[in-house]
Structure 1
Amino acid sequence: MVQRYIYMLGYDGATKLLEAFEKPLNPVVRVNTLLIDSEKLKFRLESLGFSLEEIPWAKDAFRVVSKPEYPTIGSTHEYLKGYYYVHRDASALAPILLLFQDYRGDVLDACAAPGGKATFASQHVFPHGVVYANDISLPRLKSLIGHYARMKLSNNVVTWADARMLPREWTRRFSRVILDVPCSSEGTIMNDPSRKAKTTLKDLSLLVKREIELLNAGLEMLNPGGILAYITCSIAPEENEYVVSRALESRVDADVVEPPFKLFDWSHGFTSFHKLVFDDRVRNCVRIWPHIHGMFGFTFCLLTKTRS
């Protein structure tokens, strides 16, 4: 693992990354502005003893800097009323903010549970758009349904299916697709140290195979001219730039979209890693690093479909 990080970042960068992995991150509160104003929620939570820090690039989101002994951030009256969603970190907000800047139509979230991005998307497209929130895991779908009910978000259709099967089972297509694929979660080691040894090279190979299949299925669900966000909480190039490169190589109807604006000074995607060489277009993928940006290791890429 350490040698891989040196290939990615050099010795100094790898050392700083490993140091960052030893420092757990505090959760982030994303306000449900359909129910409450951000400043009102901030006041109410601070009255309970929470200390909140604004996230400059993410309006209506706060990092929990410190907390009281009781209640927890997930057991307040305000949480139960649906006034906010608790994210493990702010990184997950970035692709959604880019994807829905000027869009209020229907959305497919192909791997939606437990619901962080799906509920955020529902807030963005309300009242005109509907989020079709799909997942393969029934227990995780129950969590998603619970969040939708708690946050009083009704503009959603929840489905239970393997996202790889959607192109042959559904006739409708979408102009926005969220594809947060099951991955190694290597970028979340600071909050889950078990990830250090959880994924073997064989496991990684199986994950990559499934991720390629999911990305191709996601592109099949996309309307021409639409945008898909391919997302992982992994820093592994094999799960990110390699997967996107494979999709670009195998299709003539897909292209990478440069993010329309920068939320913060993120890093670019790799065009090579060790002995692997990727499509030059994956440089427009976005990388978020714990030791540089103070968030989970997180990667996403915006893709478009150029024709039917």
Structure 2
Amino acid sequence: MEEEVLKILKEIFVKPSEKAFELSSKYRVLPYMAERYVRMLGEEEAVELLKSFEKPVKPVIRVNTLLVDPDTLKSSLEAKGFRLERISWFENAFKIQEAPEQPSPGATIEYLKGYYYLHRDSSSLLPVLLLTHEYKGDVLDACAAPGGKTTFLAERVHGKGFVYANDLVLRRLRSLIGHITRMRVESVVVSWSDARKISKVFNRKFERILLDAPCSGEGRISVDPGRRFRTSIYELALMVKREIELLDSLINLLDDDGIIAYSTCSIAPEENEYVVSKILRKRSDVEVAPPPVKLFNYSSWIKKYGDLLFHEELEKCVRLWPHVHGTFGFTTCLLRKTRR
């Protein structure tokens, strides 16, 4: 394991420049992160990104349409003093522009009745919408807690499929089960397993799998400032190793022509372009699938970082930038299992 991690570390590490150390000090991030942003975006846009970390995003209400009509919920919450703005690319979700002092968005009677899920921002809606576009059937949510995507998946395939929701961390499983119960979604099967070994739990294949991979969370700095310093470059290499193993093992659970959505709330190419490029070069039975629908103007994945040249198919994958899209930094890539 140590040799493998050191190999990854050697490939992904780029020595920070003087400019990176300067930006690191000014904007309070680790030097290797500042170096990355400059190499990815250029100095001027890197500063825009770093400044965007100071701007908290608006939380989002996703309506549980199995229980309530979106306009009915909107009227009910606005009567309590909320000001909601419908998300332009998904009619069943609202950005909270203003909220009363009491009740908080997570303490209304409507929330307790399961009428909505409270997301930190809108980015996490994207992989579910892309994965289930014109699809009804079973879905495996491999790293499912705390439950935002699981409950959304259950709503999307309601009456036509089951959601198999798995997680490894017990305390997070409690949150997952709590949200499933609160929102009264049916046809959800919960399991406790390391997703790298989940084939021992489910002796079957899936047409759709969601892997919202455990990651550095670097795209969520605006709501979790500790992520500015939390992940050393060595710890990042350990995460990358796990992400490669997760994606590789879960592809084996796909039916022919099945699709897995690989997502992270990280803007790090090490956790996105590098991981998927490794999979595409290792395996001959998987290809990148373009998003089935364009909900808004996504950014593409990058082609190069340092001395690393990434797989050309990655231009089909989706990136969200805080300074461009007003969301968390977030990525999604759809991979299709081929018959090769």
Q: Which residue identity lines up with residue 53 of structure 1 in the other structure?
A: E
Cα distance in 2 between the residues matched to 1:168 and 1:237: 31
SS in 1 for 2:234: helix
Structure 1: where are the runs of 5+ without partners?
A: none
Q: Over alpha carbons, which structure has the higher Rg?
A: 2
Q: Residues 186-218 of structure 1, C-alpha deviation per residue, up to 9 Å, x if partnerless?
A: 000011110000010001000000000000111
Cα distance in 1 between the residues matched to 2:307 and 2:59: 37
Q: What does residue 11 of structure 1 align with? A: 43
- Number of positions where the alignment pairs a residue of Structure 1 with one of Structure 2: 308
RMSD across aligned C-alpha pairs, in angstroms?
A: 0.9
Residue 318 of structure 2 corresponds to residue 286 of structure 1:
yes
Cα distance in 2 between the residues matched to 1:216 and 1:134: 17
Q: What does residue 138 of structure 1 align with? A: 170
Match for residue 221 of structure 1 among 250, 253, 261: 253
Q: What does residue 232 of structure 1 align with? A: 264
CA contact (8 A) 2:133 2:292 kept: no
Q: What does residue 236 of structure 2 align with? A: 204
SS in 2 for 1:238: helix
Identity %: 55
CA contact (8 A) 1:241 1:285 kept: no
Q: What does residue 104 of structure 2 align with? A: 72
Cα distance in 2 between the residues matched to 1:3 and 1:243: 20
Cα distance in 1 between the residues matched to 2:306 and 2:56: 29
The Cα shift of 1:307 comes to: 2.2
Structure 2: where are the runs of 5+ without partners?
A: 1-32
Q: Which residue identity lines up with residue 155 of structure 1 in the other structure?
A: S
Match for residue 22 of structure 1 among 44, 54, 62: 54
Q: Which residue identity lines up with residue 267 of structure 1 in the other structure?
A: S
After the TM superposition, which parts of structure 1 deviate over 4 Å for at least 4 consecutive aligned residues? Answer: none
SS in 1 for 2:130: helix
CA contact (8 A) 2:161 2:187 kept: yes
Q: Which residue identity lines up with residue 264 of structure 1 in the other structure?
A: F
Cα distance in 1 between the residues matched to 2:182 and 2:199: 31
Match for residue 149 of structure 1 among 181, 191, 196: 181
Q: Residues 119-144 of structure 1, C-alpha deviation per residue, up to 9 Å, x if partnerless?
A: 10000000111000000011101100
Q: What does residue 43 of structure 1 align with? A: 75
The Cα shift of 1:285 comes to: 1.1
Residues 292 and 34 of structure 1: CA distance in aligned 2, closer, same or farther (over 3 Å): same
If the length of structure 2 is used for normalisation, what is the TM-score? Answer: 0.89
Q: Residues 207-231 of structure 1, C-alpha deviation per residue, up to 9 Å, x if partnerless?
A: 0000000001111111110111000
Q: Which residue identity lines up with residue 244 of structure 1 in the other structure?
A: V
Q: Which residue identity lines up with residue 112 of structure 1 in the other structure?
A: A
